Amino acid sequence: MRDIDINLTEEQSFLRDTVRKFGAEVVRPAGLKLDKMADPEDTIAKDSVLWDVIRQSRELGLHLTELPRSVGGTMEDMDAMSKIILEEEMGYADGGLAISMGVASLPFSMAAMFPTPKFQELARAYAEDTKGELIGCWAISEPDHGSDYMGDVADPAISPQVKGVLEGDEYIINGQKAAWVSNGTIATHAVLHVGLDPTKGMKGQGLAIIPLDLPGISRGKPLDKIGQRPLNQGEIFFEDARIPKEYMVFTPDMGIIEGGREAKLSQVNGSMALVFGGLAKAAFDEAFNYASERIQGGVPINEHQNIQLKLFRMFSQVEAARAAARRMALFNYANPTPSGAHAVACKCLSTETAFQVASEAIQIHGGNGLTREYPVEKMFRDARASMIEDGVNESMMLGAFDWLK
């Protein structure tokens, strides 16, 4: 697809070309290989190509973009357009791996926010890690709590399943995180949502940054699913796990859930909008290229008017979703009070566009589109997962409705 970006700097153009090359030569081929593995355990085995992707992304310094310069990161050097380019290009290469590598930085970028030596050392160790030895996850979803976990409900009947009780200088943690924790079975560290005050329902949450090798913490098996199979997801169990008090960075009295909900959803949904705008573009490109090569009636099928109309509608959909996501991202990156309504709207628009465009790409491929020989069927499955991921679209819309007022 033609890009009509204007005034890209040399640095932005270099980043685009570097990430695009990495995506085409490393990420896309690895994603296709991981997707075809029958057993999800094989995707995380020591000899899996997954680790090659992680190591090479670290060697390129892509993990540094969410870390400040004070701990060895490049966050201050990443302007809004550069972040947009990075997320789009990674989504174009493989949506699931893009999510995995993005989530991998969360505990460490959060740790960098706190001046304690332990957290600063952790963030610095992640910045220096080029072997993929440190990987993060966001431990939030639970068997009975998904999209509602980001709510500000104060009803005691609706409270987290993973609970913590303060005993002296430690929190005793018990409960289970659901199989939907991205990087759940391979992560070394987690941003953990935990219920600390059950009388306050979801408003009684605390937030901790923890290593996952502590006694009392165990994992489930990697989840077997239809889409985003290269993205490892799995359960985390807590059985009388003892967490040092200083690891609990937010407690209910700080109002982090009530006050930070829109900001967090703006970040997470905003990122999803860019990544799956990239996937939508990839599905269109696959359809456009195939239509240029496939012969029916003695001519390439892109010379048939019905295919031309289909492709141009797809092009319009993709450009609309990308334009909206970029406009939202440019505003939210630049403003201390982001717009959660725009982030959620763009997440829903991009993921649904990716699903629709990938479906049309399969139609253009005909019978070939149903085979695993062509990547469009994988893109279709990956896009379908995105409409549930990081908040079911319908729930996100309802939750963000009040922000329109």
Q: What pLDDT is stored for residue 310 in this prediction?
A: 98
Query: In the structure encoding, which two tokens stand for residue 107, read together?
Result: 């505990």
Q: Which amino acid is at 193?
A: H
Beta bridge partners of 176: 237
Q: Would you tell me how many other CB atoms lie within 10 Å of the CB of residue 384?
A: 18
Using alpha carbons, select from 68, 77, 323, 44 the residue that is nearest to residue 188.
44
Residues 6+ apart with CB under 8 A from 348: 387, 393, 396, 397
Q: Are 311 and 234 in contact (CB under 8 A)?
A: no
Beta bridge partners of 175: 238
Give the 3-state DSSP-derived string for 15-64, with helices as H, strands as E and coil as C.
HHHHHHHHHHHHHHHHHHHHHCCCCHHHHCCCCCHHHHHHHHHHHCCHHH
| Domain pair 10-128 / 136-253, same fold | no
CATH-assigned architecture of domain 136-253: Beta Barrel (2.40)
Q: Are 373 and 328 in contact (CB under 8 A)?
A: no
Q: What pLDDT is stored for residue 152 in this prediction?
A: 63
Q: What is the mean pLDDT of each run of 10 residues along the chain (405 residues)?
A: 90 97 98 98 98 98 97 96 98 98 97 97 98 97 81 79 97 98 98 94 92 98 97 98 97 73 88 98 98 97 98 98 98 94 97 98 98 98 97 92 87
CATH of domain 257-404: 1.20.140.10
362 sits in the region (left: phi over 0; alpha: psi -120 to 50; else beta) called alpha
**β-pairing verdict for 236-244 and 217-219:** antiparallel
Q: What pLDDT is stored for residue 327 in this prediction?
A: 98
Q: Which amino acid is at 55?
A: R
Nearest-5° Cα angle at 357, 147 to 82: 70
Q: What pLDDT is stored for residue 149 in this prediction?
A: 67
Q: What pLDDT is stored for residue 3 in this prediction?
A: 87
Q: What pLDDT is stored for residue 66 in this prediction?
A: 95
Q: What pLDDT is stored for residue 399 in this prediction?
A: 87
Q: Each residue of 115-151: pLDDT tens digit?
A: 999 999 999 999 999 999 999 999 999 999 877 766 6
Q: Which amino acid is at 148?
A: D
> Which fold is adopted by the domain 10-128?
Butyryl-Coa Dehydrogenase, subunit A; domain 1 (1.10.540)
What whole-number distance in Å separates Cα of residue 57 and Cα of residue 64? 10
Q: What pLDDT is stored for residue 346 in this prediction?
A: 98
Q: What pLDDT is stored for residue 63 in this prediction?
A: 97
Query: In the structure encoding, which two tokens stand for residue 113, read together?
Result: 């926010």
DSSP 353-381: HHHHHHHHHHHHHGGGGGSTTSTHHHHHH
Residues 6+ apart with CB under 8 A from 259: none
Q: What pLDDT is stored for residue 259 in this prediction?
A: 55
Phi and psi torsions of 167, nearest 5°: -130, 105
What are the residue ranges spanned by the domains of the chain?
Answer: 10-128, 136-253, 257-404
What whole-number distance in Å separates Cα of residue 362 and Cα of residue 359? 5
DSSP 89-128: HHHHH-HHHHHHHHHTTHHHHHHTTS-SHHHHHHHHHHHH
Place of tokens 């690891």: 247
